[in-house]
Amino acid sequence: MSLTPPVSSIDHLWGNKDALIELVEYGDFQCPHCGRAFPIVKRLKEAMKDSVKFIFRNFPISKIHPQAKDAAVAAEAGGLQNKFWEMHDLIFEHQKRLNHISLIEYATIARLDVPRFNEDMKQENLFKKVEKDFMGGLKSGVNATPTFFINGLRYEGSWEENNLFEYLQNLEISVKEI
Amino acid sequence: MLQPGNKAPNFTLYVSPDQEISLYNYKGKRVVLVFYPADWSPVCGDQLMLYNEITDVFDKMNTQVLGISVDGKWCHASFREQRNLSFPLLADFEPKGSVARMYGVYNEQVGESERALFVLDENSIIQWSFLSEPQINPGADGILEALEKLERVI
């Protein structure tokens, strides 16, 4: 199962864009599994920051997570002020509180221009971008969240505990040998 | 398992505690038949949630999703309500699994349907089918690809 569309400049990319390993997560800010994956991913991307670039795409399942789409738009609105990752992290760290007031609180902590953030939260474009991520995920075979793609291919193993970290470390060794 | 090119056989099953429907009621629409092992099991829940999330995408493609398992009509009613599912779930309950058998996707050993997908065109001709491992959620990509192919034909 391969990633469609491939990573491009419209994606949010963390780390070294020339890194040999590309890790893409399709996630839902209100999904408890994604909440559990958040510190795991954070730790591994920092530990492997020279060799891994990390991309987050939205896959909100709105009918069971009614606040997920707004949270996704809030992170995108943060992105308009170059603070996507700050918002991404704050939202996952507080994923039990995702109402509008809480999102503004996180925007304040991230030192966003809050009136502008509030306006951007209404932008049709940002909702469309989130929906586009979702459709791309569906076509790439995302069936639940989180789903990871490594160098364009769906990662079928477990992401829990050290599994994803170890997989990427082994991959790093083999990529460097080539 | 019935293969593409065949006419999907008609059937009539309970869709709610007091109402039956027939497959051929949906003539003129495309239909996705989603056979799954059981209500309440974790993988089925994820799979159905995903289809439930994109009912507007199916609507745009003139497509009706129908879930089918051997669970009874009251079980389906409760499951649909709890998961907030907007598409029908059909009870292949009496005689048990007869529709799954007709489509070649009944698992005799466990007494449940296999996890299988069929995409039918407007004339109930099977255009695509897929048998998944029972524990694997097949996602929506195969269904969407089959439907997009049908859109291009028109």
- Closest residue in chain A to residue B141, using alpha carbons only: A139
Cα A158 from chain centroid (whole Å): 18
pLDDT digits (tens, 9 = 90+) for A68-108: 999 999 999 999 999 999 999 999 999 999 999 999 999 99
Measure the CA–CA gap between A135 and A24, rounded to whole angstroms. 15
In order of B72, B77, B99, the CA distances from B5 in angstroms are 31, 33, 19
**Structural Rg of chain B based on CA atoms:** 14
Chain B residues lying within 8 Å of A141, measured CB to CB: 139, 141
State both tokens at A13. 């990319």
Chain B residues 98-137 with CB within 8 Å of chain A: 137
* Whole-structure pTM value: 0.90
Q: Homologous superfamily of B27-153 in CATH?
A: Glutaredoxin (3.40.30.10)
B chain contacts of residue A139, beta-carbon cutoff 8 Å: 141, 144-145
Mean pLDDT score, B12-37: 97
Q: Is B44 a catalytic residue?
A: yes
pLDDT tens by residue, A3-54: 989 999 999 999 999 999 999 999 999 999 999 999 999 999 999 999 999 9
* B38 conformational bin, left if phi > 0, alpha if psi -120 to 50, beta if neither: beta
CA distance B109 to chain A (A): 27
How crowded is the C-beta side of B60, counted as CA atoms within 13 Å? 5
- The alpha-carbon radius of gyration of chain A (Å, integer) is 16
CATH class of domain segment(s) A12-163: alpha beta
ipTM of the prediction: 0.83
β-bridge mates for residue B116, sequence order = B35, B131
Closest residue of chain B to A137, computed from CA coordinates: B141
